[in-house]
Amino acid sequence: MTLVAGIDSSTQSCKVVIRDADTGVLIRSSRASHPDGTEVDPEFWFDALQEAIAQAGGLDDVAAISVGGQQHGMVALDATGAVIRPALLWNDNRSA
């Protein structure tokens, strides 16, 4: 059986589904919440992704991954790629 994964990172949570590529049957899934607020440290999004992947049994047996997301905000990075401030989300009128 060939497995494929779908990952969705949205405003409220990160969701992972693992399906049989031939039949579409759901094999396993999980979800990890994102924090509430108008300003969020992007590291929380990465942590939620890692948690959701682990709760879904990992990706070692997965042949392909599709990622989708809806995040309304800019992630500011320094020259080394490190996050330098929380991201302002869609519901924070300072980012309008």
Question: Is 72 strand, coil or helix?
Answer: coil
34 is in an annotated binding site: no
Residue 42, CA atoms < 13 Å, CB-side half-sphere:
15
User: Which tokens in the block code for residue 44?
Assistant: 């929380």
Name the nearest CA neighbour of 77 among 34, 44, 43: 43
User: Measured at the alpha carbon of residue 19, what is the angle toward residues 21 and 56, in degrees to the nearest 5?
Assistant: 145
At which residue do the structure tokens 């990952």 appear? 7
50 is in an annotated binding site: no
Annotated binding residues, written as ranges, equal 71-72
- Return binding residues for substrate: 71-72
